[in-house]
């Protein structure tokens, strides 16, 4: 089963779900036991396909750390915190967390874009 941990120990994902921001970016680093890498990718794919069908979903991208690291990083864009909250707390999605192999940990956290002149758009 997937274990959720805090990316920011002061401000957890559960606390962030109570906010209202538009749009939001989910940053989700997770660690995997080497023997479970293929199973985790397959499970993540099933989750992502379900999330892709949810209102407010914009995009997602999975990244894998360079060997020998067993870390992954998911980046997903949602129209709003409300859309992400509805998907993340949906019983169908929550039940998928049990499909992840034991020893898999994730630290989901929401961010918003920052405009920086001549570098980043908001």
Closest to 25 measured CA to CA, from 63, 74, 78, 83: 78
pLDDT of amino acid 57: 98
Second-level CATH architecture of 3-111: 2-Layer Sandwich (3.30)
Q: Is the pTM of this model over 0.75?
A: yes
Closest to 2 measured CA to CA, from 90, 76, 98: 98
Q: Where are the domains of the chain?
A: 3-111
pLDDT of amino acid 122: 78
Tokens 């023997």 correspond to what residue?
35
pLDDT of amino acid 65: 98
Distance (Å, whole) CA 29 – CA 31: 7
Distance (Å, whole) CA 88 – CA 29: 16
pLDDT of amino acid 121: 85
CA torsion, ordered 11, 75, 102, 36, to nearest 10 deg: -160
- First-to-last alpha carbon distance for the chain, in angstroms, is 36
Average pLDDT of adjacent 10-residue blocks, the chain of 122 residues = 95 96 97 97 97 98 97 98 98 94 97 95 82
């Amino acid at each position: 089963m997937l274990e959720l941990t805090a990316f920011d120990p002061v401000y957890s994902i559960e606390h962030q779900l109570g906010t209202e921001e538009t749009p939001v970016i989910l940053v989700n680093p997770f660690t995997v036991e080497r023997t479970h890498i293929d199973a985790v990718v397959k499970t993540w794919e099933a989750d992502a396909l379900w999330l892709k069908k949810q209102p407010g979903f914009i995009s997602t991208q999975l990244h894998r750390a360079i060997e020998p690291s067993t870390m992954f990083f998911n980046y997903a864009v949602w129209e709003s915190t409300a859309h992400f909250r509805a998907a993340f707390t949906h019983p169908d999605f929550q039940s998928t967390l049990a499909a992840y192999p034991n020893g898999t940990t994730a630290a989901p956290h929401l961010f918003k874009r920052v405009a920086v002149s001549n570098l980043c758009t908001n």
